[in-house]
Copies of this chain bind each other. A is one copy, B any other.
């Protein structure tokens, strides 16, 4: 018996396009006893409040009918929203629909405990989907297949804070477990996910087929990495990360005695690199955009973003704008030019002095002789924001934001200035991680100018300014932030670990004061377990 894993990259809301993608995958899998697609892949995940529109659901229903008709000889298991006609509970089910000839069977997600594992701040699933307690058994020839969706398979451990395992509820033991997933990427996730699934397979001594969505939808990146576990709990078949793939395997493999995983998880920086490239590429491709623009300061962050963008979109589609001021050092211009030229990207030099002088003149009657302060620093950043947005408007290029997570944490950035942009590429990377990613990109040859990587970071908004004038050294800052944001440690607990009390309290204050800035930042490509988008904080608080 052969089963196909269809690791596809759907577009949210593009029901027709996703339908054609499903049909194409099915037709290239003729002869399979089952073709499995990811969770909600007919409408794309996450659909959010599109689920609240009845025409959206109708279009899904029609697409299911059309798939059933056009692929009637191929047994399919597709993820789709299905109406709850019982008159009780939420309006929909998050379902896996089995289609074969005249047969149609609906399997529903249980939702043990809403939103715990998705790590997402959205409530759309609990708003629209009714949980089920039905036993999901698909009879496939002589095989009983347990059909599960996403978190149905969590938890397998003894941690009562997590969910119980769906398979625990089954009275009849199935011969195979299938899981349709849309599990977002973070740099620890592939490891964690594999261990959870492996423990499920081992606990029940049942082979397990896991099919995950691939592709990026705004800030959320899905990494694919679908896999099959044999009786021994080892991965006997794995699909690539960050790429679509339709792949068929023979169930005879289940009994493989090889005590070795057939899935190699790349190291952290490679994962992050590939995730960000996919994140940029899908952000543009799925919205029909081709070209990007960004400000090039000569610093590390913008040099990193242009390198990632050139990889994702092609260097011919990425334009850098250098906007030097009287405070810019010579090397910032030469480094910025080198970062574009190394990649073969177009660049323009647009000095900001004329505009800066004009604002000074305009505001002089009100500001009079008040001293230079953060106002004038922000003014420079906002003039630059206005220039890159003008380039974006005039040439139809999408502006990429170049802020990092360290800056976003402490509010070291100007709203409507360097915080402009439609997509934040490295806003979930601490500065020290950005350094590391640059070194990864340069592992074989200099792509990002080494001088950019090695010089002390500076915003260059006043004479001889360095980031360390206002912030601790980045390794210290990032260590404190990691403790506080990723590990939810309080100031006291961090100080107990040996960090300087004054520094920790200063950093905490900056983090707490800048929720209003983070609120207005573009979607940030999420690569960590705790991106700011999933850490909701009150803006007004004491």
CB closest chain-B residue, reference A118: B123
Q: Say whether B416 contacts A390, CB under 8 Å.
A: no
The yes or no answer to A142 lying at the interface (CB within 8 A) is no
Name A249-299 residues within 8 Å CB distance of B.
282-283, 286-287
Partner of A354, one of B348, B361, B519: B361
Measured in the bound complex, the distance between the Cα atoms of B113 and A114 in whole Å is 10
Q: Say whether B538 contacts A161, CB under 8 Å.
A: no
Q: Say whether B420 contacts A416, CB under 8 Å.
A: yes
Complex interface: chain B residues within 8 A of A348 (CB): 366
- The verdict on A390 contacting B375 (CB below 8 Å), with A114-B126, A123-B122 known, is yes
Complex interface: chain B residues within 8 A of A127 (CB): 115-116
The yes or no answer to A391 lying at the interface (CB within 8 A) is yes
Complex interface: chain B residues within 8 A of A282 (CB): 540
Copy tally for this chain in the complex stands at 2
Q: Say whether B12 contacts A538, CB under 8 Å.
A: yes
Interface size class for chain A? Answer: 35 or more
Name A331-360 residues within 8 Å CB distance of B.
348, 350-352, 354-355, 357-359
Measured in the bound complex, the distance between the Cα atoms of B46 and A189 in whole Å is 30
The 3 closest A-B pairs by CB, nearest first: A358-B358, A14-B542, A55-B490
Known: A49-B537, A359-B386, A385-B416. 10 other contacts (CB 8 A): A11-B541, A44-B538, A49-B535, A89-B161, A120-B123, A286-B540, A359-B390, A383-B386, A416-B420, A519-B523
Q: Could you list which residues of chain A lie within 8 angstroms of chain B, going by C-beta atoms?
A: 11-14, 17, 44, 46-50, 52-56, 87-91, 113-116, 120-124, 126-127, 160-161, 216-218, 282-283, 286-287, 348, 350-352, 354-355, 357-359, 361-363, 366-367, 370, 373-375, 378-379, 382-383, 385-387, 389-391, 393-394, 415-416, 420, 422, 488, 490-493, 516, 519-523, 535-542
